[in-house]
Amino acid sequence: MLLLVSVQNVEEAKQAIKGGADIVDVKNLQEALVGSAHPNIFKEVKKIAPDPIHSSLTLGVVPDQIGTVAMAVHAAGLLKATSVKVGFMKTEYSFALETLLACREALEGSNTMLIGSLFADNLIYEGGLNPSLMVDLSVEGKCDGFLIDTLVKDGRNLFDFISESELKDMVMSAKSRGLSTALSGHLKLSDLDELARINPDIVGVRGAVCSKGDRDEGVYWEAVNHFKSELDRRKSEGLKFSENISVDKVSNKTSRNFKGEVVIDGKGKSCAGIIAALSEQINLDKTSIVEVIIPDKLNTYDVFLWAKNDNHSIMNQHTDEDGNLRILVKP
């Protein structure tokens, strides 16, 4: 899980970077229901964000104006944003889809990733687009990934609108299709255990990393650092597999000398990338045993679940000398 911190200006970006944020997401919280930052602010943020820190842009809730939205997305590509998020609230599914497809076309020739976004609390608004459609919308809209966020500012957060199990299903479904996954929405330190079980690629926060925990007080580097440390601790410790997701064909008699016929190196890949690579390999070759290297223990949880759901066998597993888990998968 990567940590995304929402910032409104250069000073907040400096605090996020100092605290160890993986992604600095530039937005304007004063504009409508979350809006876009001025291009010059993003340019200044991008200047101070060293590799491998990503600089992303949020368009917030976009208007029902396809050309206008596509033009804004095109500008994000010209600014070389790592990603641009296009959010929908009271929009028909077909119109949101048409908008995303126009945005995909507008990013042609750019390395900027297109992220579709729906809000967990959309259904409390008349005509709100159901967030359960997020995976289908992202796939059909040719997005690189999705973000589920919230709009309410009444103390409720993501888990007040969508259950942990529903979010887990959405994230796993998206990962199996190669989409990156991001969850946000007034998340706090106390939500990290639930987030670890869901294991999105990205966790987005603001209020939790602001001074005094107040999103209007500004991002504070020590709060960012603490949140990042707690998130990383869960990544390194992993999860205890519950009975309903364990793969019963795992062998305790692991031979460390046994190698897969095909090796997928998951180092540097997101969980979605690992599962997509496994799926692609098995679709091409259903006879070879695949060895996958997993450096992030939380991703192990999802690989086991993916294997069980797709009826693949986990032959054995062991930890190598570098601390990476190596798993053998038989299609």
Just list the catalytic residues: 27, 85
Pairing of strands 325-330, 290-294: antiparallel
- The pair of structure tokens assigned to 167 is 């979010």
Q: Give burial (CB, 10 Å; 0-12/13-18/19+) of 69.
A: buried
- CA distances to 36, 37, 110, 188, 216 from 30, in Å: 9, 10, 29, 22, 10
- The pair of structure tokens assigned to 237 is 């410790």
Give 129's contacts (C-beta < 8 A, 6+ positions apart): 88, 89, 90, 91, 92, 93, 96, 118, 122
Q: Directed axis angle between helix 10-19 and helix 39-48, to 10°? A: 30
How many other C-beta atoms can be found within 10 angstroms of the C-beta atom of residue 316?
18
Length of the chain: 331
3-state SS assignment for residue 54: strand
3-state SS assignment for residue 326: strand
Give the integer Cα–Cα distance in Å for 181 and 202: 6
